[in-house]
Amino acid sequence: MENIADGNKIIGGFLDIALDVEDQMSEDVYGEFLKKSAWPENLEKEVFQAVKTSLMILIKETEEHRAIFLELKEKLEKHEN
């Protein structure tokens, strides 16, 4: 039984790390590039809009990944109890 508890603790740790990575990608990487100030001043408006559209897709996918990791963590916690 102890091996299972140890394994669950390790898996829970991996899920926590995955959640942190997803948050950092969404906020620190993609979010930063949504700001016009992160780009060259002479970047055309249409190009910036295309970049923003692509980044929003990535942010949405990252949020979906986060939801999956949260669901897995909840299942793991239910399994532990």
pLDDT in tens, 20-72: 888 888 878 888 899 999 999 999 999 999 999 999 999 999 989 999 999 99
d(CA 55, CA 51): 6
pLDDT classification of 81: cutoffs 50, 70, 90: low
d(CA 75, CA 35): 37
Q: pTM for this structure? A: 0.73
One-letter amino acid for residue 52 of the chain: K
d(CA 14, CA 39): 34
